[in-house]
Amino acid sequence: MTRSPPARRLPLLDFAQFTQGRASRSAFLQQLRHAARDVGFFYLSGHGVDPALLARVQQLARDFFALPDAEKQAVSMLHSPHFRGYNRAAAELTRGEADWREQFDIGAERPALPLTAESPAWARLQGPNQWPAALPALKPALLAWQQAMTQMALRLLRAFAEALQLPPDAFDSLYGDLPNEHIKLIRYPGRDNTGSSQGVGAHKDSGFLSFLLQDSQRGLQVEAAPGHWIDAAPVEGTFVVNIGELLELATNGFLRATVHRVETPPARHDRLSLAFFLGARLDSVVPVYPLPPHLAAQAHGPASDPLNPLLRDVGWNYLKGRLRSHPDVAARHYETGAGGQIRARRG
């Protein structure tokens, strides 16, 4: 089976079409299916997220990164067994190489789970976020954005189900009332401050759907075909959306999780991006969904990296990625027991 020729630019989809009558809905679903299969990335307009809220979180992200280093270090990810908080540039790794971006991570604002000796190590991923005392406006704004993004992302996931000719609620059991909601505020410093072109190294996202709000600075690149990279230049009013590995796994490779990277901005510039990742419940197991025969015949199986294999157990898959990306946090809060089993450190 052959794919379409590699794309030269990302498709642009208008989510408003999904609710504009039968013909528009059908056209949107066809575009969605092809974009997610042939490229794995697309721009999404008509998403319904308040532009004023987007502008607010962008400004607060800039305000956060402008804080003195001591204020940012007070909420360092090193303090969090839940992998929440601030990382300096070069603290996170992709495929073993340092990423030149400083960032602030939050997840769903939920209490830590009670742990017993039998609790899986991934249970420690749930817990409270850290918030900078010097910027109290950040918490309510990011939580409001997180809620708006979750509602929009779940609607889009239902559109995916319909595009795949599955029941509209096919993916709902993977989420329930506890979806994995992950936000990253990211600042890429200019190359004069890094000496490196790697803002973030080539990788695939591990969850279901990823959404990126870009500023005006280019940098994101998508590997549309092996060795064929295209720029995902900023387009005002849109999110860049991409498929994660678990959605590729759930569709037996019909949908495509695509490798992408970010190049460091030129000297005396920086780049701000805000990422939202929708993932499944930590205690869920991803099935292979039975696609109709004409679609199933086009599913080629998920492309799993033998050095970083995909796991259907969501909690373990997510924890594996965090341990690889943040070895300093892993060393402080997790340990390897007998037989190589990962477990949370006590105390």
Residue 220 backbone phi and psi in degrees, to 5: -70, 135
pLDDT at 1 (0 to 100): 41
Short-list 256, 259, 203, 265, CA closest to 229: 259
Assigned domain for 130 exists: yes
Tally of domains within the chain: 1
pTM for the complete prediction?
0.93
Measured distance CA(178)–CA(123) in Å, rounded: 13
User: Is 243 strand, coil or helix?
Assistant: strand
pLDDT at 69 (0 to 100): 97
Q: Which helix (H) or strand (E) holds 327?
A: helix 327-333
pLDDT in tens, the chain (347 residues): 445 566 678 999 999 999 999 999 999 999 999 999 999 999 999 999 999 999 999 999 999 999 999 999 999 999 999 999 999 988 888 877 888 999 999 999 999 999 888 899 999 999 999 999 999 999 999 999 999 999 999 999 999 999 999 999 999 989 888 899 999 999 999 887 777 788 899 989 988 999 999 999 999 999 999 999 999 999 999 999 999 999 999 999 999 999 999 999 988 899 999 999 999 999 999 999 999 999 999 998 887 666 667 788 999 989 998 998 899 999 999 987 655 567 777 65
> With 0-12 CB in 10 A as exposed, 13-18 as middle and 19+ as buried, what is 235?
middle
Assigned domain for 4 exists: no
Assigned domain for 3 exists: no
Assigned domain for 61 exists: yes
- Which residue segment(s) compose the domain that 212 sits in? 12-344
| Helices 138-163 + 22-38 axis angle, to 10 | 100
Two tokens at 332?
A: 């402080």
Assigned domain for 82 exists: yes
Assigned domain for 2 exists: no
Read off the CATH number of the domain in which 70 is found.
2.60.120.330
